[in-house]
Structures are given as C-alpha cells and as structure tokens.
Amino acid sequence: MSRPQSESTPGLIAPPLTTASLTSTFTTSSMSRRSLFKGALGAAALVGLPGFLAACGSGSSSSGAGATGQGATGAVSYGSNQSDAVPKKSIADMVTAYQQQSGGVTVSVNTIDHNSFQENINNYLQGNPDDVYTWFSGYRMRFFADKGLAGDISGVWDGISGMGDALKTASTSTDGKQYFVPATTYPWAVFYRPSVFKAKGYQVPKTMDDFYKLTAQMKTDKLIPLAFADKDGWPAMGTFDQLNLRINGYDFHVSLMAGKENWADQKVKKVFDAWRKLLEVSQPDSLGRTWQESAQSVQKNDAAMLVQGMFMAQQFTKGADQEDLDFFGFPEIDSNIGTDAIEAPIDGNMMAARPKNEAGAKNFLAYLATPAAQQLLVSADPSVIATNTNADTSGYTALQKKAVDFIGAAKNISQFLDRDTRPDFASTVMIPALQTFITTPSDVDGLVNSIQNQAKTIFVS
C-alpha cells in the first residue's frame, strides 16, 4: 500500500548516498543548538565555518536568483511524485504563489503516482523528462547525475541563502557540481507516546541498558515494548542503520554502504547480534505487517515504542492525538561512539539534463529553495520540516520543533540504507537478507557471508 511520500523506496529500488557527501564532521563548540541548526541542517555536516556564517548571514529570500535563472520567461514543466491529495494541493498552492511573482514563468505540474515515479525513473529520465522533477538527495541524486541524466544547477546554488554547507554537500555530485535543491527532511528515531510514559512512570532511556530495563518493565505492564513491521521490506533497514550507527559509527556506515567494507566482518556481525537481542522485545510477526499497522499499534497503545521516520505521525490524527507523539534518539550502545550520528533523509528537486526551458527551470528551482516555498510544503505535511533555515518555524508543531533541534544537534547525518548505497544492492540483496534475518535470526554467519558474496558481484561496475 502507500508508503510515506518522503520515504525511500521501499519496494523496488532505491539509491543512496555516497560517501563524500556525508563524511564531514562538525565540532559542536559552544554554539547553541539553534544556531548550530541554522548552518548544519539536514545533511551531512559542516565542512567549514565560512559556509555556516554565510548561511546565517542573510535573511532575505532568494527567489529569482541563480546566475542563469534571472529574467526567465515561458513555460516550465514540473514532474511531481506528490500524488497524495494533501501534498498535491500544497504543490499547487506553491506553484500559484510562484507564478504570481515569477515575472513571466508559468509552471505546469505533471503529477505521477509516487511509486510509479520511482520505479520508472530510469526510463523517465532517459526519455522525455519534465524540466524540473522531485527526487532525493545523496547517492540517489548522484547516481543519475554521474550518468549524465541530471542538469547542473551550480548557478542556482550561488543565489541560495539559508542552506548551509551540509545541505550543499548533500546536493553535490562527484564532479563537485550541484544537481539538487533540498526541500524537506525528517529524522528517524524512537517514537513513543509521552502520555503513556508519564502514566507508567517510564524514563526516556539514554543507554541500551536503560532501554532493556525499560522494555522489561513494559512487558510486565502487558505492553509490546517495540512495535515492528517489515512487510514492505524497507522499514527494517532503519533499525539496521540505527544499530550500525551506534555500534560502528558514522564513518563505518558510509564505507560499508559504499561497498568498501566486508559484510562478513566481525563489526557487521555485532550489529546483527545486537539486533537479535532487540528482536526479543520487538513485536513478533513483523513480516506480515505494514509500517502503517505498526504505527497504529503505537497509536492504539498496544505497543510503547517504534523505530521509524517522523512520517509515522501521518498515522495519528491531527490535533491532540498527534501532539501526544514524541521521540528520542536511539540509545547509546558504545560510549566511544556516542549518539551524535542520526538519520534524516532529504527530499527535494532536480533539473533535467536537457530542459526545454533552462532559464525558467533554474528560476523555478531557485524559488523552490526559498523559505516561502518550503513553508507551503511543510504546512501541508507536519511530519516533515523545511530545509531552509530561514523558514518560519513559528507555525511548527511541537514534534516539528523537536525535529529541528534534533537534526541541528547532530554531528553526522546519514540518509537511509537504501539512499546511502547502490539501489540494486539495497533492493535485491539487502531487503531479502534482512527478512531472512528476521525469520531466522540465529544464522548470522551464513547471512553475512551470503550478503558479502552478492555484494562482491554488484559493487564491480
């Protein structure tokens, strides 16, 4: 059934983020979380201070900017995968707002069913793509940029303000040019109901020991400690990422996803061993359950927690129900690794390699980077946040505000397993492998050897 608009790809295919974009570190120093967020939001991390300052410097909107987008006129076609009613309307609102101030550029939106868009992206881009189209950052962007199927929009980036170097890195391909304009992002974390925690006197766990003490208590209280679903194949990737980030750290995650590490390594086995223990407190029969159903078991207070993206808020009714949803970062497992690496995929827009109206497309993309445009998107879907730090957050829900702080405080940000590695590897190897693990968690050696054998044949080209 439907998957979250912003979520990866579940089903079939999905590409990921590569190394370089993610590898960067940021020293927390004395800046406040908030200011830190301004520069670092979203993507990987800050590479240097200048970018950070630049990001904070200007509060003005950058619409119409971008070296080659100025003074553009004519029609631009926009391929949108936002096919659900609510986001579809927010796109329409945004386009209307753009046309009122574009000075002659008109945009025709071509909405394509979300899943079809993803599954056909290959043919779409090689055929007759729209001038501007929705896509994802990181490896998934880079894969197509490297094949010459995306347009260079470095000029547009020169005029963008409110997006720090971290976001720029996540929008940059291997050739050092930008091909992507970030729009929204959302974190993966452990979600729970504060009202339940309060009623039962539970404390948010900081370490894995706390976590297991908490789950033992939940079991005696007749609650399923951790909801879990993996029918669609991708949600379990999130749990793998969280464990891997906590046990082996961000850099290992990046090189493992890039095919530079051996999957049969002791480090990967440790992740699966830790996961086997986690499965004991997880909801059983996860392979017959969709992520929506697992989110609903938290919503109905059958289960206490869920490792999921913030899009799980979509399963909660707006208002009081949604306000009673909170999250905490995945607990610490190794104190040498800590908890400052998190996962937060970025969604955004790209330009066709040979757009029919290049100036118009760039003008429109520049607008898509503005706080005004992003606010229109975010107001429709309170399970994501704007990537532009100048966006007005006063209308944010408590959950969105927390996400802003959470992402801002992170040192390293991964994208998601299927956005951080080769798409063919994620969908044809990792999904079946993780499902095999969930069915038979005992045979870790056989599993990691099988993954490694297949990885060897895929990471050659």
CB of 264 to other proteins, least distance (A): 13
Closest CA to 398 of 318, 331, 333, 293: 318
Q: Dihedral (C-alpha) 410, 167, 352, 84: value to the nearest 10 degrees?
A: 50
Q: Examine residue 92 and tell whether it contacts other proteins (CB under 8 A).
A: no
Residue 390 engages other proteins in binding (rule: CB under 8 A): no
Residue 175 token pair: 């050739």
* Shortest distance in whole angstroms from residue 2 CB to other proteins: 12
* Minimum distance of other proteins from residue 425's CB (angstroms): 9
CA–CA separation, 162 and 112 (whole Å): 30
Nearer to other proteins, 203 or 453 (CB): 453
Q: Which of 84, 93, 119, 324 binds other proteins (CB under 8 A)?
A: 119
Helix (H, G, I), strand (E, B) or coil at 343: strand
8 Å CB contact between 436 and 276: no
**DSSP, residue by residue, 214-235:** HHHHHHHTT-EEEE---TTSSH
Q: Which residues are 352's β-sheet partners?
A: 150
Q: Which is nearer to other proteins, 337 or 458 (CB)?
A: 458
Residue 460 found at the interface with other proteins (CB under 8 A): yes
Query: What mask of x and - would describe binding to other proteins in positions 134 to 163, judged by CB under 8 A?
Result: ------x--x---x-x--------------
Residues 247-286 that bind other proteins (CB under 8 A): 284-286
Query: Please, which residues have CB within 8 angstroms of residue 441's CB and are 6 or more apart in sequence?
Result: 272, 275, 276, 279
Distances (CA, A) of 276 to 87, 180, 240, 243: 38, 38, 11, 11
* Three-state SS annotation for 344-376: CCEEEEEEECCCCCHHHHHHHHHHHCCHHHHHH
Which phi and psi angles does 233 have, rounded to 5°? 90, -30
Specify the residue, 118 or 339, whose C-beta has the smaller distance to other proteins. 118
- Shortest spacing between CB 348 and other proteins, in angstroms: 16
Looking at the Cβ atoms of 334 and 443, the one nearer to other proteins is 443
Number of residues that bind other proteins (CB under 8 A): 45
Would you say 15 or 382 has its CB closer to other proteins?
15
Residue 13 neighbours by CB under 8 Å, 6+ apart: 118, 119, 418, 423, 424, 426, 427
* Closest CB to other proteins among residues 28, 453: 453
**C-beta of 23: minimal distance to other proteins in Å?**
22
Asked whether position 111 contacts other proteins by CB under 8 A, the answer is: no
Per rule CB under 8 A, is residue 83 in the interface with other proteins? no
**How far apart are CB 15 and other proteins at their closest, in Å?**
6
Say whether residue 15 binds other proteins (CB under 8 A): yes
- The number of beta carbons lying within 10 Å of the beta carbon of residue 391 is 23
Record the tokens describing residue 291, joined without a space. 């992520």
Residue 453 binds to other proteins (criterion: CB under 8 A): yes
Separation of alpha carbons 20 and 258, rounded Å: 10
Provide the residue type at 373 as one letter: A
Q: What is the CA radius of gyration of the chain?
A: 21
The span of 13-21, 199-207, 353-361, 376-384 binding other proteins (CB under 8 A) equals 13-21
* Range 420-439, binding other proteins (CB under 8 A): 422-424, 427-428, 431-433, 435-436, 439
For the four alpha carbons of 297, 300, 302 and 306, in that order, the dihedral sign comes to positive
Closer residue to other proteins (CB): 119 or 273: 119
CB of 119 to other proteins, least distance (A): 5
Among 7, 131, 165, 232, contact with other proteins (rule: CB under 8 A): 232
Residues that bind other proteins (CB under 8 A): 9, 11-15, 118-119, 121-122, 126, 140, 143, 147, 149, 231-233, 284-289, 293, 296-297, 422-424, 427-428, 431-433, 435-436, 439, 450, 453-454, 457-458, 460-461
